[in-house]
Amino acid sequence: MGFPKKKIMYILHSWGGGTENHVKNLIKKFSKDYKLYVLQVISNKIILTEINNNNVLKYIFSMNSQMNRFEFHNEEYEKIISSIIDTFQINLIHVHQLIGHTFDVFNIAKIRNIPIVFSIHDFYSVCPKINLIDYNNKYCHGKNNSTDCRICFMDFGITSFSITSWRNNFTDIFEQTTLIIAPSKSTLEILSTYYPNIAGKSIVIEHGHEEELLISRDVAKKPRDMRNKPFHIAFIGGLSPGKGRKIFYDLAGSKELRDKTRWSIFGISDIHSDPACYQDLNVTIFGKYRNFLELKKMILENEVDLVIFPAKWAETFSYTLSEAWSIGVPVLVSDLGALKDRVEKNGGGWVVDISETKNVENKILEIISKPEEYIAKTNEVQQISLKDLDSMIFEYDTVYKTYLKSITPIYFSQNVFTNNDLLKNIFSENLHTPSETSNIEAEYSANLPRRLVQCYYDNGFIYTVNKTKAYVCEAFSRK
């Protein structure tokens, strides 16, 4: 007899950035043990992706209108999400991003006794601008002035918005959340200053890393004689104002540093995306890299001495910091968030107050003037133990199993989609072009026996028989 798989739904905004990598890693590791459903909102469409072993199926549910960006509640969205949860009998909901969604899922889950896990990847819950950078491009954590917030949102193009209402709603959300997970201690510390009610229901699960990052330091660079060439300082990733773009360019052009240093961006900046050497700025742009192995090759070939992360906001983790360490290069980071946390915990670099560019300039001059300390920091990098993916997955799996065993959801049969409804959404013209649709329908029909067997293994005999009966009855009624 088959044993039903538990069903977990991930709520996501879009695929991109560190959150994308994190969720993809969870999906890759969990798709054999659980049935996974990824829920996204794009324009006026709710997209549900079902992932079961190597089988991927998409459903598209259209809404009559596009949701407002900052809606707390939308009746049509609530109705569709309720039906999705009742139809697929979701056992646990894991929220990764609420951007683009309303807050309805929390009440839906509460009524059904479904546990909700909430991962904190940014500070959207504190401010919808996500990174706590105000209209003056300054870090604004702890500044609870509603007038300043109103000015900031007007500068952002939002004319009617109340930060008080926003945070009150998130206070309610966190009351209904079963567990809050953050990738760093500092993230929870920042969040708790706005939401004291997360105490006792929040934990830290640090992100895991792919095997290629864990073995990389076997070929790590060795400290070279810094007197032979200019000290090479680099940034990895996309350099934006919040990531410290102004500080980086100011340092590259500094009179004190110009003759002693060279500067590179392995990635792009928001003002320079084409690979080129900008001699007047003392900056070389290498452009986007395809993967970590390509990044490692470029950094080693170009003999980077120091990677700098002058972020003006509190990063929640920073995969690029892990990449720098994996290549064997020490780092200089801002005194905020997970960047500070991780360097203070592991060594392998320096922490600096980035409120003034002069502070950073002085720190770089100090690093260059103390080669013995630099070598010591480089040696520390070799000793840093990055967390592997399997360790992270084990921690998440422990969380999932704890709530899946202890909580029994309640579903409402009157909300369930019919098989005919689901088939219409699978074969929606919004998902496939007309030329593709007929082939996909044929492929789906041809795979029905295989899907029937898979359904038996995933859900058991009785569930499979009942679903088969319902499908056959609907098929005959359409003829």
Return the pLDDT at 226. 59
Please report which residue ranges of 61-124 form alpha helices under DSSP H. 75-88, 104-112
Q: Give pTM, 2 decimals.
A: 0.86
**155 token code pair:** 């500068």
**pLDDT score for 155:** 74
Give long-range contacts, CB 8 A cutoff, 24+ apart: 344-348.
346/380, 346/384, 347/377, 347/380, 347/381, 347/383, 347/384, 348/377, 348/380, 348/381, 348/384
In this predicted structure, what is the pLDDT of residue 436? Answer: 33
pLDDT for the residue numbered 429: 45
Name the one residue in this structure whose structure tokens are 């059904």. 112
| pLDDT reported for residue 200 | 93
| 442, 427 Cβ separation under 8 angstroms | no
The residue count of the chain comes to: 479
Q: Which residue has the tokens 């319902």?
A: 470
| pLDDT for position 432 | 38
The rounded distance, in Å, linking the Cα atoms of 212 and 454 is: 33
As separate numbers, helices (DSSP H) first and strands (DSSP E) second, the chain gives 19, 15
CA dist., res. 177 & res. 195, Å (int): 12
| Per-residue tens of pLDDT for the chain, all 479 residues | 456 899 999 999 876 667 888 899 999 999 999 999 999 999 899 999 999 988 899 999 999 988 887 889 999 999 999 999 999 999 999 999 999 999 999 999 999 999 999 999 999 999 988 999 988 888 999 877 777 888 888 877 777 788 999 999 999 999 999 999 999 999 999 999 999 999 999 999 999 999 999 876 544 455 555 556 899 999 999 999 999 999 999 999 999 998 999 999 999 999 998 999 999 999 999 999 999 999 999 999 999 999 999 999 999 999 999 999 999 999 999 999 999 999 999 999 999 999 999 999 999 999 999 999 999 999 999 999 999 999 999 999 999 999 999 999 999 999 999 888 888 888 554 443 333 333 333 333 334 554 555 555 555 555 556 656 555 554 445 44
pLDDT in the model for residue 13: 85
Strand partners, 48: 39, 59
* pLDDT at residue 252, as a whole number: 97
Q: Are 458 and 2 in contact (CB under 8 A)?
A: yes
**Three-class SS state of 363:** helix
Q: What is the pLDDT of residue 224?
A: 56
Is 124 in contact with 99 (CB distance < 8 Å)?
yes
- DSSP bridge partners of 182: 204
